[in-house]
Chains A and B, each alone.
Chain A
Amino acid sequence: GENVEQHPSTLSVQEGDSAVIKCTYSDSASNYFPWYKQELGKRPQLIIDIRSNVGEKKDQRIAVTLNKTAKHFSLHITETQPEDSAVYFCAASMGYGNKLVFGAGTILRVKS
């Protein structure tokens, strides 16, 4: 089955700096790659997703890139702010009805 590895497990950055979180997946048939943000004590919330027919997607300060050949995808957050501090999860699946498998998560701390 699918296996998703996520790095780093913790990341500390200064406010205003960029943060990058990387994930690799094992199943070349996977075609949907979402990123979820989870604040302390809250439920995970989708922040951005990408499908296998797209190499990059941006939404304001957040971007995701996908390299299908290497089977890895990355989350980029620019101009980080203290409210970006949270746990971020990547995930992969073959789409609806197929198991969405999550990475172990990255704790992002933005220091002001």
Chain B
Amino acid sequence: NAGVTQTPKFQVLKTGQSMTLQCAQDMNHEYMSWYRQDPGMGLRLIHYSVGAGITDQGEVPNGYNVSRSTTEDFPLRLLSAAPSQTSVYFCASTLHPTGGAGANVLSFGAGSRLTVL
């Protein structure tokens, strides 16, 4: 299994540009999520999905859109990038819990570093 794959690894945007961060997993995980990581602020949840066709907002959803048309893919869209969105973005997924060990363990992608000028 490739695990959680994120693309691109690095991206530089100008203010107002749009882009999509891609996330794919091949582990048949139902739960997928996007976090942003900023210095001194830990990981903050942007959006998450508990299955295909279902998405919900996290702590910091403004300026971001998501969709979940398949179990494997969970893209994050920035419609009009702002300098405040400069960050490292992580996609993470986990299996539907059965109550057993590992039910909630998040598998993270390698991260995407985004700079908005």
Contact = CB atoms under 8 A, between A and B. Distances in A.
Interface of A: 1, 6, 9, 32, 34, 36, 42-46, 49, 89, 91, 93, 95-97, 99-105
Interface in B90-117: 90, 94, 96-97, 103-106, 108-111
B98 to A, nearest CB: 9
A43 B109 contact: yes
B42 A99 contact: no
Given A43-B90, A97-B31, A103 B42 contact: yes
Contacts, number: 59
B8 to A, nearest CB: 15
21 contacts: A6-B42, A34-B104, A34-B105, A42-B110, A43-B109, A43-B111, A46-B105, A46-B106, A49-B104, A89-B42, A91-B43, A95-B103, A96-B31, A96-B103, A99-B45, A100-B33, A100-B45, A102-B43, A102-B44, A105-B40, A105-B42
A91 to B, nearest CB: 8
B52 interface: no
Contacts of A44: 43, 90, 106, 108
Given A91-B43, A102-B42, A105-B42, 4 more contacts: A34-B106, A93-B104, A100-B106, A105-B40
Contacts of A34: 104-106
